[in-house]
A and B are shown apart, each in its own frame.
Chain A
């Protein structure tokens, strides 16, 4: 039986993530855990996050999860969500904090001077709501998800990878930003699949069936 670990480092509510994965997981066992050993033993790992990245990094470190996350990201099907995606990068402007460095690049705040829509009106930050996700090439996690389908976002910072080849999708909001990254066994998204209705559940289903 497949074991899925949802990494819990005490930041925010993981119940939605847990319930959505359970909803699509079939016979798989879903465990919300802050135990590095459970993460190490799991077959698949989900790395969610919400709130502020400096707090997320600090709480993750305090629970001794750093190594387990890095090890999981090196070998298992690994899904990062929201701050869980941002933490995979080198560094964030938010609190000038160092990330895990699994992807080369920066986490940047939506710049004030770009937050203008086509009609000249100011775009709100956080970027909150349903926006289009445009695929960069094919990936097993996009199976049965139409290109440009909408997912639910809520964030003020976005990832800016050094290597454009890791971008798995982009979204437009004032500027064009990377809304999903993929490399080998890692897939990570800025949006919330657990809150994105049918499209989100499909992505989670695809993750559960993914054998990179």
Chain B
């Protein structure tokens, strides 16, 4: 049976891991290669890098970082953040990324999803959706870190990007992101049931139980988390053991 995936997410800026990573025996907690290797050893199924580099002068640094990680870590790597054009997608893939996540650019110019998936294949194209609840059973798509409402219905938007050729959806609840209160399970399930492509649930994980709920109640195909792993609260291995005990298929 196909395993549900656990994906640690790392924020990087100018080629360095930020937000702190707290592993024992790590020489340099900011070195993306070292951090990625550690997650690989723990059994991470994929790793996602979110580039939050502020200065456009430093944007190309992510390419070198991806090259270094891809030389040493042999699991799928997704890179997102600041991807605006098909050329950006290609450069990241050529550096060694396996998938590229597109967020704001997909909203402002949906054709980029079709164009990119047509050029490099749907399997490489992840579309990130940041959603907020606006009424019971209704969620809308936000951009700019949850500050700007696009007015797009999240379910309709998910179906639209699927039709445009997205291979996967990275779904973040902006209501839950950073709260440690667990995924928005209603949102996750609504989107997962509405499309045929895989869904990665994101935003709000504070406990191992939250990860399991994302799969069992949210029907996500993969779960993404950052702080629960970064600060040494849990290893990926512990998360998988916990999920297996609850009858969820995982790669151990």
Which A residues form the contact surface with B (CB < 8 A)? 12-13, 15-16, 19-20, 23, 50-52, 117, 121-132, 150, 152-155, 172-173, 194-197, 200-201
Contacts and interface: CB of A to CB of B under 8 A. Distances in A.
Interface in B189-244: 196-199, 219, 221-222
Given A23-B74, A121-B219, A128 B120 contact: no
Chain A interface secondary structure, helix, strand, loop or mixed? mixed
A173 B2 contact: yes
Nearest to A49: B121
B94 A15 contact: yes
A154 B193 CA distance: 20
Contact of B197 (A13, A20, A124, A150): A124
B1 A124 contact: no
Given A15-B94, A52-B121, A150-B3, A122 B45 contact: no
A122 B74 contact: no
Given A16-B96, A129-B5, A172-B1, A154 B74 contact: no
A122 B168 contact: no
B251 interface: yes
B94 A13 contact: yes
A204 B122 CA distance: 26
B35 interface: no
Interface residues on B, range: 35 or more
B123 interface: yes
Contacts of B30: none
Given A23-B71, A194-B74, A200-B74, 12 more contacts: A13-B94, A13-B96, A13-B98, A15-B95, A16-B98, A121-B219, A124-B197, A125-B196, A129-B4, A129-B222, A131-B3, A197-B74
Nearest to A123: B2
B45 A195 contact: no
Contacts, number: 96
B198 A132 contact: no
B52 interface: no
Given A121-B219, A129-B5, A197 B40 contact: yes
B128 interface: no
B123 A126 contact: yes
B33 interface: no
Contact of A124 (B70, B94, B96, B196): B196
B76 interface: yes
A113 to B, nearest CB: 13
B74 A128 contact: no
17 contacts: A13-B124, A15-B96, A16-B70, A16-B74, A20-B74, A23-B72, A50-B121, A52-B121, A124-B198, A124-B221, A126-B122, A128-B167, A128-B168, A129-B221, A131-B3, A132-B1, A152-B76
